[in-house]
Structure 1
Amino acid sequence: MIEQAKGVLMWMYGLNAEQAFKVLVWRSQDANIKLRDIAAQVIEDLRLLPPPDPKTSAVFDHLLLNGHERLVCDHESRSAARLDLQ
């Protein structure tokens, strides 16, 4: 649950994993509530957010369904770059 809450904070606020964890710890200590309970509440409260715009969902669908194609290209680019360095 803590990892999921960290992921939410990372996405919503553009944080890295360490920063997101520090936010959870801060809220836990400030409210004197266990970290796992704060994390669970973050996940539970996601249902209170409005759904994403249909255009955003459509773009994400496309990215999800075609992500493997970008991975292959990125992998090939990195391999080519390594060959250039040798």
Structure 2
Amino acid sequence: MTEVQKRLQSELEKFQAVQKDYQKCVSARQLLDGQLNENSMVKEEMDKLEEGASVFKMIGPVLVKQDLEEARQNVGKRIEYINGEL
């Protein structure tokens, strides 16, 4: 009987390890989905801007003026990266 219990305990530990890995993957996926949604919304808003509009990027506690086209490219690259990770 103890051999069966040891095997059962071993299988239970394997299952718990797989379950933990699964939860990590789910959390990572949720984070990436949130980032993709946020960046997609930013892209939509930036597409509505007229050429020459002022765009600012937050770096720490400071807002730094950024070129509109550069900002669009950065957001596009971020979206591509996130899609690649998904």
Length-normalised TM-score, structure 2: 0.28
Higher helix share: 1
Higher strand share: 2
Which structure has the larger Rg?
A: 2
Length-normalised TM-score, structure 1: 0.28
